[in-house]
Structures are given as C-alpha cells and as structure tokens.
Amino acid sequence: MTTLASKPANLDRRLLHRARGATLFIGVCAALGIARTACVVAGAWLTASLIAGAFAGGQSNGSLGPQLVALGAVLAVRALLASVQEAAAHRASAGVKSGLRRQALQQLMRLPSGKRHTGETAALLVRGIDALDGYFARYLPQLVLAVVVPVGVLAVMLAAYPPAALIVLVTLPLIPLFGVLIGLYTRTRAERQWESTSRLAHHFADLVAGLPTLKAFGRAGKQVEAIEVTTGAYRRRSMALLRVAFCSALVLELAASLSVAVVAVTVGVDLVDGGMTGEAGLRTALLVLILAPEAYLPLRNAGAHYHASAEGLAAAEQVFAILAEAPEDAEAEPEPTAQGAGGFAQWLGKRSAALAGKAGAAGVAQRHGRHGPTALTTSPALSHPPLDRAPAIMFRRTVFAYPGRQPLPELSLTIPAGQTTVLTARSGAGKSTLMAALVGFRQPVSGSIAFDDTELSGLDLAAVRRSIAWLPQRPVLIDGTVAENVRLAVPDSRGGARASDPAVAKAIAAAHAPAANRTVAADGSGLSAGEAARVGLARFLLRVDLLDPPVLLLDEPTAHLDGDTEQAVLDSFAPYLAQRTVLIASHRSAVRAIADREVDW
C-alpha cells in the first residue's frame, strides 16, 4: 500500500484538485472564518464590558440592557455562521465523494478485470470514500479557522495587552507541533486500521460467495472462528486508534490550558500590581482572558479532527492509486465473461451509450433490411453498425497464450465473408479464445487478425465491437427477471435507446427462453443450465435484431439443449445467418447441418 506518510501534502493537493468546487468551499470557509473571528472578538468585548461595567463601573441593570441584547445577537450570528459552515462543508464533501466514486468506477471499468477483490473494492468505494466526510466536513473547515481566528484574536490582544499576545504567540505553535508529532504516529495506525477494514470486507465477501460450497462440505461452522479472528484484529486496531485519538486530544488540551493559565497569571499579577486599574483595566483583563482560549480552540479542534480524517485520507490514497493505474489497453473494456454481472451490465451499458451517441435517424431494420419482414421494431436512436458489410476474417499465423500455460498451436485460418462457418476443433483447441480475440478481449502473442484486409489492431475496437453480436459459452446473468437479463443486449442508458417490450418478448420466444417475468439469480440458480443458456441466446437474438451486426459469434449455442429444443432454436435464428459472417463453435450435428462449411485444426 502506498503510505499516507509519503506524500500527505501532495495528497491534500490532489484531493482539492479532484474536488470540483473545493476552492470555492475553502473561500467560503475563509469568509465565514473572518466573520466568526469578528463575532468572537465582539462577543468577548461585549462580555468584558458588561462584567466590568457591572462590577467596576457601577452601571445599573437598565443601562446594561442594550449591551446584553447586542451580546445575544452576536452569539446568535456566531451560531448561525457555524451552521452555515457545517451545511457548506457537508455539501462540498458530498460533491467530492460522488466525484471520486465516479472517477474510480470509470477507471475500474477500464482496468483489466480480476485484479482487485470485489469486497475490498466495495469497502473502498463505499465506506472508505464516506470516511472523507471527516476530512472535508470537519478537518478542512477547522484548518481554515485555525489560520484565520488566531491571527484576528492575536491582533486584538496585541492592541489591548501586548504581554498576553506575546505569550500566546510563543505558546501557540506548540499545538500544531504536538499535533504533527501525534499525527505522524497515528498515520501508520490509521493505515493499519484501513488495512484491517479492507481485509475484513475481503474475507466476508469471499465467505459469502463460497458459502454454498462450504455448506456442501460441512465447513461453514469453521468459518465462525476465522471471522472471529478477523473481526478481533479489526476491533483491536480500532481501539488502539481511538486510544491515540483520545490521548492526543488530552495532550493538545493540556498544552492549550497551560498556555491560557500563563496568560491568566500574567494578567492577574498585573491587576494585583496595579498595572490595570479601574473599569478599563478590568475590561482589558477580561477581554484578554476571554480571547486567549479562543486563539487555541480552532487549532485544538483541527488536531482532534485530524484523526477523524485519517481513515478517509488513507482510502483516498488508494483511490488515487487506482486512478493512476494505466489501463493495459486504453481501448479495451472489461471482459464481460470474466467479470461480475454488474460489470457485464455496465459494459453493455457503455456500449449502448456509444450506440446512442452515434444514433441515426432511421431504424436499423429499415436501413439494412437483412431480416426483411421478420425484423423487430427498433428505436430510431440505435446506430448503424460501423462495418457496413459482412467481412472475411483472417487469422494469420496467430498464436494465443495464457500466463503460465503452453501457448496454443499457431493458427492460420480464413473465415469467408457472408458465410456460416462451424468450428469443430477438439475441446481445448482454442475456439472460445479465438472468438474472445475477435472482440478484443484476448490479444495474440504473435501473428495477426484481420477483418477483410485491415488488421484488427488498426481498427477502432469500439466500432468493431458494435459490429459483432457474441454469444459466449457461459452468458453472464444478473439478479432480476429474464426480461431484464435479455434487455442487457441493449440496456438503458442516458439518452440511449431501450429495447421495446415486444422486441424483448419476441427474442425470448425465438430463443425458447423461460417466461419474461421468471426470476434469475446472478449465479444462475433458479434456472436450469439449458434455460440459462437460452436466456443468453435471447439476449443475443435481441442484439442481432436491434443492431443488425454483420458478424455473429456463437460459442456452443445449443450445448445444453435437447434435440427438439435445439432444432427449434436453430430454426429461430436461421433467418439471421444470411448475408452475415457467422462463426459457430460446436460439435453438434444439427448445428453443422446449418453451416456452409466446417473448420477443424
């Protein structure tokens, strides 16, 4: 983990830089701080005058009335300013948090999947970023006050009674000095505390995900001990951090109290010695005594709130580490099959947003007419796929390799344009890998892939993806209904198109998928393997119908189906094969029967 101690100032700068409106917020804090300083001085002056007037000046209760009203008004304004500052701080904090979350999520979508643990990421983006409230809503406003208030108070004290101002001037730096020393110590502890939080979230998410397996093997009970150990570590670290926070608050309190005591003794001695006499002398003495603690208060508060902000800063450091990561492939988007269902939905969402961005005036079916009268009604917002005709696909001496595995054999293959080719190579030969490569989710280690005469590496990958409908071997499902899962083919997006209910219903019927309102769980439970495969197929058909892509990739489309259903499904997508470059991975004879050619290697 990048340590917070390494570049704290830099982190603050980055935080403020990322925070839209943070500069304005600091400006507001400074203005409110100046107003609050004026209130502090006015309140102290009125209180001192009231007391001195009553005791030394012999003023009657009636003549003190206006001063009492003025004091009440000053206190009310001071309270109002505090609440305005609080509201502004929470508003600024909410803006910063949502901005950071958005940026981190966008970046995570660009980064290769599987690099981070879900539980840890969720804890970072939810609880971790929430902890920034401590920084923006409490620490930062106090820091601004810690600069503005002491300066104002010192100036008044200097004018009223220079010796007291001198004492405050000398002792005031002790507060930030102690604060920094304690801060350096607590920073490491705050980081450890954040590590514990991440580990706990990580462990818990793993446990919940693996619970069915653990129950099946009778090991679920054993996990209670593991959870106890992790939560115990978390509790101990939280308590250690709290202990330090309490002790440091005590130290700062002590330093401030001793300094105020020195001021009080100096003023008291001067009063006794006769250096300050009469109503004016008493008023000055009281003014100095009331103002002295006010000079220390914001610094003490800033020190105390630093601890509240430390966890958020540790989390922010991790968010910045994510933001600084360079995506392996700037164009590449996360692989849906390798991701959680939410990731898949977002991936499709991004695609849909891209499609909406290139929206044309006419519907896809009208423009292309590949389907003739069978085409489903589409929204006019859906775009024309960028590859406007079915291309030939060439693999030229292409080699794929997975980390830690022997590279797959070199492949040289031409898939003719506008034909249906069935790949019948043995299991493990690389059929799925080849399809994933066509949508840019796998890169060959040598050789090349070309659409017609243009190499895939030279094409706009996003545009290529828009020209392809891909049915992976194991389509990803999300928690929801069958219809919601199917609709992910072209999901809703801001300003984007939405597949109509009849279009979804037609795709479900064509794929012989379960009823639209059937509930589906992300892990596929609630559906048989065949039903889940048909939900994926319905999603594929909907995408084909709405986007009219010239390239279709189907990975074992009928693997889990019985003979009759297989035939019915094949009949339903037969009309979509014409004039498209279609690649199907399958060994089934019914699938081979609909192909123009077969390829083995």
Between CA 491 and CA 509 the distance in angstroms is 19
What are the DSSP E strand ranges found in 346-409?
Answer: 393-399
**Cα distances (Å, whole numbers) of residue 344 to 29, 182, 469:** 43, 46, 14
Give the whole-angstrom CA distance, residue 177 versus residue 184: 11
Give the burial string for 464-474 (b: 16+ CB within 10 Å, else e). bbbbbbbbbbe
d(CA 58, CA 51): 10
Look at residues 178, 164, 185 and name the one whose alpha carbon lies nearest to residue 302.
178
How many amino acids of this chain bind ligand ATP (CB under 6 A)?
Answer: 13
**Is the distance from CB of 39 to CB of 78 less than 8 angstroms?**
yes
DSSP letters, 66-81, are HHHHHHHHHHHHHHHH
Closer residue to ligand ATP in complex, CB, 112/524: 112
- State in angstroms the smallest separation of the CB of 390 from ligand ATP: 23
The reply to whether 536 sits near ligand ATP by the rule CB under 6 A is no
- Residue nearer to ligand ATP on the CB measure, 301 or 424: 424
The answer to whether 55 contacts ligand ATP (rule: CB under 6 A) is: no
Residue 19: CB minimum distance to ligand ATP, A: 39
- Find the shortest distance in angstroms from Cβ 341 to ligand ATP: 18
> Is residue 559 a contact point for ligand ATP (CB under 6 A)?
no
DSSP 537-591: HHHHHHHHHHH--SEEEEESTTTT--HHHHHHHHHHHGGGTTTSEEEEE---HHH
Question: Whose Cβ is closer to ligand ATP: residue 431's or residue 465's?
Answer: 431
Q: How far is the CB of 571 from ligand ATP (least distance, A)?
A: 24
CB of 430 to ligand ATP, least distance (A): 4
Query: If we measure between CA atoms, which residue out of 291, 296, 292, 294 comes closest to residue 44?
Result: 291
Contact criterion met (CB below 8 Å) for 555 and 392:
no
Residue (of 385, 400, 397) closest to 437 by Cα position: 400
Q: How far is the CB of 400 from ligand ATP (least distance, A)?
A: 7
Closest approach of ligand ATP to the CB of residue 224, in Å: 34
Instruction: Compose the 568-597 pattern: x for residues touching ligand ATP by CB under 6 A, - for all others.
Output: -----------------x------------
Query: Segment 356-415, which members bind ligand ATP (CB under 6 A)?
Result: 402, 405, 408
Place of tokens 């909406």: 356
Q: Cβ closer to ligand ATP: 408 or 508?
A: 408
Q: Is 119 in the site for ligand ATP (CB under 6 A)?
A: no
End-to-end CA distance of the chain: 47
Type of residue found at 424: T
Which residue number, 62 or 428, has a Cβ lying nearer to ligand ATP?
428
Task: Tokens 């405050």: give the residue.
Answer: 168
CB 408 → ligand ATP: shortest distance, Å? 6
Quick note: the x/- pattern for ligand ATP over 447-486, rule CB under 6 A, is: --------------------------x-------------
Q: Taken in order 537, 539, 545, 548, is the CA torsion positive or negative?
A: negative
- Cβ atoms 422, 591 nearer than 8 A: yes
Nearer to ligand ATP, 78 or 560 (CB): 560
Our CB check for ligand ATP shows the closer of 370 and 588 to be 588
Q: Given the complex with ligand ATP, which of 430 and 549 has the nearer CB atom? A: 430
Q: How far is the CB of 434 from ligand ATP (least distance, A)?
A: 7
Shortest Cβ distance from residue 347 to ligand ATP (Å)? 17
Tell me the Ramachandran region of residue 523: left when phi exceeds 0, alpha when psi lies from -120 to 50, beta otherwise.
Answer: alpha
406-435: contacts with ligand ATP (CB under 6 A): 408, 425, 427-433
DSSP conformation class of 491 = -
- Contact between 64 and 53 (Cβ < 8 Å): yes
Output the smallest distance, CB 549 to ligand ATP, in A.
21
Helix, strand, coil percent values for the chain (each to nearest 5):
65, 5, 30
Shortest approach of ligand ATP to residue 406 CB, angstroms?
A: 8
Binding site for ligand ATP (CB under 6 A): 402, 405, 408, 425, 427-433, 473, 585
